[in-house]
Amino acid sequence: MNINAFEIPLTKNPVISMNVIPGHFATNHFHLSHYLDLENLKTNAMTARNVAIELALPYLSTTLVDTIVCMEGTQVIGAYMAEELMSEGTSIVNSGREIHVITPISNIDKKLMFQSSMQSLINNKNIILLVSTISSGTTVNNALECLSYYGGRTVGISTLFSANPDKYEFEFNTMFINEDIPEYKVYIPGECAMCNEGHKLDAIIIHDGYAEI
């Protein structure tokens, strides 16, 4: 499948690009026409720094931030984003402040929670929620519920990619959207056009990758 992969550069900063693999993929909730390989954006230090600069822009002059909560392996980006938000500048509202970068854990019921030592970084704090992708909104909604439970104030949501960004009830900032990818489609499994046309699944998307069938 990788032989058909191609890159989508970010229009306003071509140094940042998303690797895309066409095919027939399945998640727990959807069938997808493309797999988005975002690992280089999250793990390559130089690339992650550039991503963080782009994601920090909407908050630099307007939003006080105490904590960045990172989901789906975005911790490296989150650390660089905090650095960018705290940089010196007359129009940068977080100059001289401390910003913490943390990640929730899952309990035995697969509900998000924060360890006791981390809860003071959420309660009554201004939070940016950073996620890798927004497809169904389930991950973000679960995270927002968790932050609310611990008394956090969500002042921003940022993501690397979002499918159909106008359909969600919450507002967020994203770098890439589905319209950036030619012929990108998301289907409910029972309504998947690829299945109806007899195309077998190529792979199952799992945490941090996919497993070919």
DSSP string, 171-190: --EEEEEGGGSTT--EE-GG
| Average pLDDT rounded to a whole number, residues 1-13 | 87
pLDDT at 1 over 70: no
DSSP one-letter string for 30-98: -EEEEEEE-HHHHH-HHHHHHHHHHHHGGGTTT---SEEEE-TT-HHHHHHHHHHHTS--TT-TTTT--
| Mean pLDDT over the full length of the chain | 92
Alpha helix stretches (DSSP H) within 119-202 = 138-149, 193-196
CA dist list (Å): 41 to 9, 90, 185: 12, 29, 22
Is the distance from CB of 84 to CB of 52 less than 8 angstroms? yes
Helices 45-56 and 75-85: crossing angle in degrees, nearest 10, is: 50
**DSSP secondary-structure letter at 121?**
G
Of the candidate ranges 53-57, 80-84, 148-152, 206-210, the one whose mean pLDDT is the lowest = 206-210
Q: Check residue 151 and give left, alpha or beta (phi > 0: left; psi -120 to 50: alpha).
A: left
CA angle in degrees (0–180, nearest 5) for 16-78-135: 70
CA dist., res. 213 & res. 56, Å (int): 39
CA dist., res. 93 & res. 61, Å (int): 5
Q: Which pLDDT score, from 0 to 100, does residue 166 have? A: 78
Q: Which pLDDT score, from 0 to 100, does residue 137 have? A: 82
Of the candidate ranges 23-37, 42-56, 146-160, the one whose mean pLDDT is the lowest = 23-37
Domain 2-212: CATH class, spelled out: alpha beta
Q: Which pLDDT score, from 0 to 100, does residue 28 have? A: 83
Total residues found in the chain within this entry: 213
* pLDDT tens readout for residues 60-118: 999 999 999 999 999 999 999 999 999 988 778 999 899 999 999 988 888 899 999 99
Of the candidate ranges 125-129, 160-164, 165-169, the one whose mean pLDDT is the lowest = 165-169
Residue type present at position 187: Y
pLDDT at 207 over 80: no
Q: Which residue has the higher pLDDT, 139 or 46?
A: 46
Helix, strand and coil in the chain, % to nearest 5: 30, 35, 40
Q: Tokens standing for 16? A: 């940042």
Percent of the chain past pLDDT 90, that is, above it, reads 77
Q: Which pLDDT score, from 0 to 100, does residue 169 have? A: 78
CA dist., res. 37 & res. 23, Å (int): 13
Percent of the chain past pLDDT 70, that is, above it, reads 99
C-alpha 109: how far from chain center = 23
**pLDDT level of residue 213 (50, 70, 90 thresholds):** confident
pLDDT at 157 over 70: yes
The domains of the chain are located at 2-212
